[in-house]
């Protein structure tokens, strides 16, 4: 497969990138990079996420091998989530994207303002 085919918008990795780079996934991964967390710890750390969205995000990340779910035999039984070795490899490329956004935010804001002004005319 040549590089052009790998970067096509409908390539199989596109779904994976959509799932890993969405708003809640990035927030969850950011929390789990620091330490394993229980579900309610994640809810408190990311107060804007709904219970349903957090559950969906955790399942999607687990399905992709980025995090793992561990049932802790306590009373009551608890579930703890932690990032996998595969998940840890996401940190460098995500940091590069965040640095790019930070570096280019002034230019992006100017482009948005120009766009909005043009749309209003």
pLDDT digits (tens, 9 = 90+) for 90-111: 999 988 988 999 999 999 999 9
Task: State the Cα–Cα distance between residues 85 and 37, nearest whole angstrom.
Answer: 16
Task: State the Cα–Cα distance between residues 28 and 94, nearest whole angstrom.
Answer: 13
pLDDT at residue 6, as a whole number: 61
pLDDT at residue 23, as a whole number: 87
Q: Is the pLDDT of residue 35 over 80?
A: yes
pTM comes to 0.79
pLDDT at residue 57, as a whole number: 96
Name the band, by pLDDT with cuts 50, 70 and 90, for residue 76. Answer: confident
């Amino acid at each position: 497969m040549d590089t052009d085919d790998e970067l096509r918008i409908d390539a199989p990795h596109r779904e994976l990138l959509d799932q890993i780079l969405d708003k809640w996934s990035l927030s969850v991964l950011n929390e789990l990079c620091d330490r394993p967390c229980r579900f309610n710890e994640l809810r408190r750390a990311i107060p804007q996420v709904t219970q349903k969205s957090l559950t969906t995000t955790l399942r999607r990340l687990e399905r992709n091998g980025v995090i793992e779910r561990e049932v802790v035999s306590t009373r009551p039984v608890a579930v703890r989530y932690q990032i996998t070795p595969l998940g840890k490899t996401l940190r460098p490329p995500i940091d590069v994207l965040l640095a790019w956004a930070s570096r280019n935010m002034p230019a992006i804001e100017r482009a948005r303002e120009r766009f909005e002004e043009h749309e209003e005319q």
